[in-house]
Amino acid sequence: MQVICLQDEAFYALIDQVVARIREKQDIPLRKWVTGEEAMNLLGIASKTTLQKFRDEGKIRFSQPEKKIILYDIDSIQEFLEKHTKETF
C-alpha cells in the first residue's frame, strides 16, 4: 500500500476540484436560494413554525419577492448548521 501525505491547503484544494468536477458531470446548478421545504430538509426540521421562528429571530436569511413566496439563503443555512456543530472528542 502507498501512502500519500498532503498539507491541509492542498487537501482542501483537491476536494474543491473534485466537487467541482462532479457537479460539472452531473450538471447540478449551484443555487443561492431554496424553497421553504428544501430549507426544512437541509435543517432537518419538519415544522414550518420552527422555520418561521428561525426566520423571525434572524438565524437564517430569507428573501420575500412576493407576499406568499419566501426563499431561504442556502449559505446562511449552512452557516447556521456549522455554528451549531459540536466537535467530537
Using CA atoms, how far apart are residues 59 and 44, in angstroms rounded to an integer? 15
What mean pLDDT comes out for the span 62-74? 94
pLDDT value at 28 more than 70: no
Domain residue limits, the chain: 31-89
What mean pLDDT comes out for the span 4-20? 88
Segment among 27-41, 45-59, 60-74 with least mean pLDDT:
27-41
Helices (H) and strands (E) counted in the chain, each on its own, are: 4, 3
Specify the pLDDT at position 49: 96
Using CA atoms, how far apart are residues 17 and 6, in angstroms rounded to an integer? 15
Check: CB of residue 42 under 8 Å from CB of residue 77.
yes
Specify the pLDDT at position 46: 95
According to CATH, the topology of domain 31-89 is Arc Repressor Mutant, subunit A (1.10.10)
Specify the pLDDT at position 24: 76
